[in-house]
Structure 1
Amino acid sequence: MRVFVLSTGRCGSTTFAQACKHINNFSSGHETRARLKGFERLNYPDNHIESDNRLSWMLGRLEERFGDDAYYVHLTRDPARVAESYNRRWKKKASIVKAYRNGIHMNPKEPDSIEWIMEFIDTVTKNIEHFISDKSQVMRIRMEDANEQFPKFLEWIGAEGDLDAAVDEWTVRHNLGKKNRLIDTIRHKAKWPYTNRRS
């Protein structure tokens, strides 16, 4: 049994992996095979929980390798909070939002902007939702509700170990970035431009 935690990133994916380290009957990790290629990139052991936001770009390979035999978690967070966090990461060498703008959209001369991040969040979210739409073992967890929903996850997979310590990890802030005031700008926009409605 393998469990894949799919997300945009910046939504508790590191915390999720840390919490799972208190489980005895599963191994767990965060982006443990992200630097590998070919067959080894998805060669996760059995009874393993993997939290890796970059898997959202490998869903075809994930389907081919594991299909409906795996358990899938879609981990989300308030999109404005995700955008706020990513906006502080443009200068990072391995910035995924920069790769999205510069590589996928071929717009390296475009200025860093929140609009690119919002489009990135919407694209990844829709990719994941489409992928899990036909899966039989799916759980959706919001970072903001993890204290309530994570214990249900533990029960869902039949986790054993120090489950109280696992739940307590959600009170610790992992992989924390600096705060800024951008959240107010995002939250008070007239309308979030990317939604799940059909156009």
Structure 2
Amino acid sequence: MRALAEVVRTRSPGPDVRVAFLDLSEPSVGDALAGLHAEGHRHVVAVPLLLGHAYHARVDLPALVDEVTTRLPRLSVTVSDVLGPDPLLEDVALDRLADAGADLSDPGLGVVLAAVGSSHAPANEVVARIARGWDGRRPARVAAAFASAARPDVPAAIAKLRVHGTRRFAVASWFFAPGLLPDRIGELTAEAAPGAVVAAPLGTDPRVAAVVLDRYADALTGAVRTA
């Protein structure tokens, strides 16, 4: 995430770009916002590095921002839309697949689009919709799968693809960065389909930074995006 922020700075040197985390890492969102206020900033745009409208986007981040702005009423915080879905991010995910050695022109290839998973069904449906779009445009068959909180998981998605006649498998990563859940995806893939390729996360690709800046610009102008 810090490396991605550096790419954002390189692409747009005007804004003061900082990194904060909802949990597990420092600085926290609250500490980062309080620090910016102490430095004299009075308006901050928070761009959630999230791929869907799940719990973190709908509940966690707004609550953290409300707590800070209640305590620091002179600080105005605009929360932008989440990054996903976006055609640029899909392109990055597909390029990561190709980098891993997956040939989407192969009708015998089954591709699993692996995402976090959420108890919020509409967030999962966005991932499923992306998978259906990929499935309809390329010879390879594509199915969505989730690392937690939703079904199907990776083994179930691979089993579904086998029913359609696929015998080779690849996993596309709908994650920004390495971590416990991508590791779990890799482990389940190795068990369910030995030899399958697993693509790297979206990472620090400049197109990811471009989407960050798009959300920032939309937040400044009040533009509303429809997924």
Q: Shared fold by TM > 0.5? A: no
Structure ID, larger Rg:
2
TM-score by length of 1: 0.30
The structure whose RCO (Cα within 8 Å, separation 6+) is larger is: 1
Q: TM-score, normalised by structure 2?
A: 0.28
